[in-house]
Amino acid sequence: MKLQQNTRLALYSLLEFAADPERQISAAEIAQKYAVSSHHLAKVLAELSRVGMVQSVRGVGGGYRFVGNARRLTLMDVISRFEEMLPTENTHQQLTPVGQALASVLSEIDEIAKASMSSITLETMLHIAERFHV
């Protein structure tokens, strides 16, 4: 499963916020950490704010903070906000026996990916990330 940049930015940001839910983190700080443009990240954060996963805090020391439930919010909950999850349209090739056989094998992979993404919460991701801390 290849994720678009917006989806990856949303996940990076949410994990930064969820790691320390009391702290307000600015978009600039996250943009610098992940080497992306603040402008691009601002759009992603606006969407996360719109769906109630983060809250924008105005004023000095303002930024964003996590307001979701890290024990319940899964990777799939976030991914489905940013990725097109519709099944691909059937082309002529996909309706042939070989095309259908290939589609059935590819769907196996998709199903496993979906099961993984649906079962990993942000809290679990934070635990996994701890293994990579040096």
Q: Cα separation of 85 and 70, whole Å?
A: 23
Q: Compare residues 11 and 41 and give the one whose CB is closer to other proteins.
A: 11
Task: Select the residue interacting with other proteins from 21, 23, 93, 110 (CB under 8 A).
Answer: 21
**HEC assignment per residue over 2-42:** CCCHHHHHHHHHHHHHHHCCCCCECHHHHHHHCCCCHHHHH
Q: Cα separation of 6 and 112, whole Å?
A: 22
Each residue 62-101 as x (binds other proteins by CB under 8 A) or -, in order, gives -------xxxx-x---------------------------
- 110: contact with other proteins by CB under 8 A: no
Q: Compare residues 32 and 116 and give the one whose CB is closer to other proteins.
A: 116
Element (H, E) at 65: strand 63-66
Q: Are 14 and 6 in contact (CB under 8 A)?
A: no
- 107: contact with other proteins by CB under 8 A: no
- 57: contact with other proteins by CB under 8 A: no
- 40: contact with other proteins by CB under 8 A: no
> Interface with other proteins by CB under 8 A: which residues?
21-22, 69-72, 74, 111-112, 114-116, 118-121, 123-124, 127
